């Protein structure tokens, strides 16, 4: 595990991400000499865990109606993205 100051992490963020992605490095980011964050490989998740949660917690019967009411309350926003 390597230490980086917040400034170093900001200045070399692409390089840090490359090291995490390709070399599986983990970095501890420090600010004022204190560890404030870590940057490392994301944990891989599979569908099995999600399926187990969904099977354990059955859908709420009222949820469908609540979702429909929320959707009906949405208003499309018009924007001019070119100008």
Per residue in 33-64, pLDDT (tens digit) is 999 999 999 887 778 888 888 888 877 888 88
Please count the other Cβ atoms lying within 10 Å of the Cβ belonging to residue 46: 7
Sign of the CA dihedral running 35, 39, 44, 49: positive
> Which pLDDT belongs to residue 54?
82
> Which pLDDT belongs to residue 3?
96
**What six digits make up the tokens of 1?**
């595990």
Asked if 16 contacts 37 with a C-beta cutoff of 8 angstroms, the reply is no
**What six digits make up the tokens of 27?**
């970095």
**What six digits make up the tokens of 74?**
């949405």
Question: Residue range 6-29: average pLDDT?
Answer: 96
Percent of the chain with pLDDT over 70: 99
Whole-prediction pTM value?
A: 0.53
> Which pLDDT belongs to residue 30?
97
In order of their start, the domains of the chain are 2-39 (3.40.1620.10)
């Amino acid at each position: 595990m390597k230490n980086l100051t917040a400034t170093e992490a900001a200045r070399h963020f692409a390089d840090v991400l490359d090291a995490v992605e390709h070399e599986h490095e983990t970095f501890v980011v420090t600010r004022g000499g204190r560890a404030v964050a870590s940057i490392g490989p994301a944990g891989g998740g599979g569908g099995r865990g999600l399926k187990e949660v969904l099977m354990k917690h059955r859908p709420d019967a009222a949820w469908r109606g609540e979702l429909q009411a929320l959707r009906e309350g949405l208003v499309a926003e018009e924007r001019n993205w070119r100008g």
